[in-house]
Structure 1
Amino acid sequence: MALTTRRRAVGTLAAALAGAVAVPSYARADSPRPRPRAVRPLRQAHAHNDYLHPRPLHDALSHGFTSVEADIFLVDGELLVAHEATELDPARTLRALYLDPLSALVRAGHGSVFPGHHRPLQLLIDLKTEGATTYAELHRQLTRYRAMLSSCVRGTVRLGAVTPVISGDRAAREPMEAQRVRHAFYDGRLDDLGSPAPASFAPLISANWTQTFGWLGTGAFPAAERAELRRITTAAHAHGQRVRFWGTPDTPGPARDALWNELLAAGVDHINTDDLAGLAHFLRARG
């Protein structure tokens, strides 16, 4: 979406915020928050555009996903979750869909999102509006939930039940780097591999699969591309960073399975999908 079109849609939505809005049951602060059933967490499972599922967050957790993604827009001082500005709904705030439910789950789980496990949940937050101002409001909101969040104080990381990682508009990087105390981390790019940015700042390296590789799962994986994939994961892991690719094929079938198998074999840390059940079945079948 063009920036001017996005701003026009955001401005139109801002006027609606003052009106009466029917809040869906899953977003109400007083609605019951079902705990996910006791399921083994899947460390490679990442729910791309998680908020598009019928029960944001809860559907992913019920399948064992340990990473979920939410796109946010800053509108009239509030952080709204949507994929496009034309889809904004004042009831669908970051707090209502993610921060409040996670806080309730962590309290009920005695410090963990996952019953019987203490693996942190990665909350990947993609900034769709200007990065510096959007991050400033996000930091203000995250501070209220700091008891459950991972944090970085003067370069020292303390892991919590939930680890926010900031992606999207890159203008957020400078204000984040200037902070002595952060409750969020930065989503790096391939250019950050081997850069001075430490894993305490950028623990995740993300890239568009189709801008780096031509293979989409059909036929043999070219040897040069397999070597490049393993070079990327090896370099990231040597610096304590994790790797994620977006834009990988997501249509069920042999091509997707073949590509997912190569990602696992190369040590890619997060596999992107909109098909929660499909990836959960794939990972559990492979132990």
Structure 2
Amino acid sequence: MRALRRPLLLLVVLAGLVAASLPVAASPARHVTPLAQAHAHNDYEHTRPLHDALDHGFTSVEADIFLVDGELLVAHDPEDLDPDRTLRSLYLDPLRHKVSHGGVYPGKRVEFQLLIDIKTEGESTYAALDALLRSPRYAFLWTKYRFGHVKRGPVTAVVSGNRPRATMEGQRTRMAFYDGRIANPDDVGPGGDARLAPLVSDNWTTLFTWTGAGEMPAGERAELRRIVDTAHRAGQRVRFWATPDVAGPQREAVWRELVAAEVDHINTDDLAGLAAFLRAQDRAAA
């Protein structure tokens, strides 16, 4: 037996040396520069939900959820529901793995947002979501509201869609926050509360007529900047949905105005297109 141990020990040592010499596969998110304004609208429709967005540097992703037989399923429409595509499997477990292994973007200080859009009845769906976010498996991930104070975590969960405002507002502790509406004075600015609604969103086409053709009307540009300034002074972030998202000069014109106005989250389904645009803007500014 003693004669066999020496060759086996040599083989183990040699195997370790060979393994150490092999290149380690790098996570793309470790080397990409995060883009603070990049929001992946309907992120779950990409080939690799969450991961494609991270590979492009996005710092906010959106998932629509349906409560079905006690499980939170991710899809855009009821006919697309698949029991294998859950909020857990597509988002919570991958985020848990990343945060446990160095962060959403390892080595980088990033505020990452998971925007969860409730598609089914608000109270019951939020109750299931609240219980899931609080579970010991995931609770360490979140920015938390506790007895009037906000404690920052690796990921901020924000609830959109069918949001049960009174229920969320009445909670003494929360693992998620409320997506307010820009058009509602109770949500934004002096009438709002960033401890409840750190994000305010609205439909671009209900607030503005301009969609990128020609110059933005001066009055609409002033209104855009007033909205952003009002929200920022209250400690809130701003997002618009239904902005033009077909590649071309009109989309870029709208994106340039959003960047210039310091809108916090720019909405897109085109990950590569927005990433390239924002990086070009950064280079131009530098």
TMscore range, shorter length: 0.7 to 0.9
Q: Which residues of 2 match residues 66-145 of structure 1 at below 5 A?
A: 66-109=59-102, 112-144=103-135, 145=138
Give the distance between the partners of 1:194 and 1:164, measured in 2 at CA.
21
The residue that corresponds to 1:185 in the other structure is 177
Contact 1:124 1:164 in 2 (8 A): yes
Q: Are 2:244 and 1:252 aligned?
A: no
In structure 2, which of residues 203, 211, 218 is the aligned counterpart of residue 223 of structure 1?
Answer: 218
Q: Which residues of 2 match residues 1-287 of structure 1 at below 5 A?
A: 36-109=29-102, 112-144=103-135, 145-170=138-163, 172-190=164-182, 191=184, 192-194=187-189, 196-287=191-282
Contact 1:199 1:241 in 2 (8 A): yes
Give the distance between the partners of 1:274 and 1:196, measured in 2 at CA.
32
The amino acid that maps onto 2:234 is: H
The amino acid that maps onto 1:62 is: D
Q: Report the CA distance between 1:120 and its aligned residue.
A: 2.3
TM-score when normalising by structure 1? 0.86
Contact 1:35 1:105 in 2 (8 A): no
1:139-188 CA-partner distances (Å, limit 9, x unpaired): 00001211111101012111111100000013x21111111110000000
Q: Report the CA distance between 1:35 and its aligned residue.
A: 6.2
SS in 1 for 2:124: helix
Give the distance between the partners of 2:228 and 2:206, measured in 1 at CA.
16
SS in 2 for 1:55: coil
Contact 2:189 2:233 in 1 (8 A): no
SS in 2 for 1:36: helix
The residue that corresponds to 2:15 in the other structure is none
Identity of aligned residues (%): 63
| RMSD of aligned residue pairs (Cα, Å) | 1.3
Contact 1:199 1:240 in 2 (8 A): yes
Q: Report the CA distance between 1:204 and its aligned residue.
A: 0.3
Structure number with greater Rg is: 2
SS in 1 for 2:221: helix
The amino acid that maps onto 2:104 is: V
Contact 1:36 1:61 in 2 (8 A): yes
SS in 1 for 2:244: coil
Identify if the C-alpha distance between structure 1 residues 77 and 35 changes in structure 2 by more than 3 Å, giving closer, same or farther. Answer: farther
The amino acid that maps onto 1:180 is: R
Q: Give the gaps of 5 or more residues in structure 2.
A: 1-26
Contact 2:169 2:196 in 1 (8 A): yes
The amino acid that maps onto 1:140 is: A
Give the distance between the partners of 1:221 and 1:75, measured in 2 at CA.
44
SS in 1 for 2:193: coil
Identify if the C-alpha distance between structure 1 residues 135 and 195 changes in structure 2 by more than 3 Å, giving closer, same or farther. Answer: farther
The amino acid that maps onto 1:139 is: D
Greater shift in the superposed pair: 174-183 or 62-71:
174-183
Aligned length: 252
The amino acid that maps onto 1:230 is: R
Contact 1:37 1:62 in 2 (8 A): no
Give the distance between the partners of 1:284 and 1:266, measured in 2 at CA.
17
1:18-61 CA-partner distances (Å, limit 9, x unpaired): xxxxxxxxxxxxxxxx6634211100000000000000000000
Q: Report the CA distance between 1:75 and its aligned residue.
A: 0.5
1:195-232 CA-partner distances (Å, limit 9, x unpaired): 54310110000000001101000101001100110110
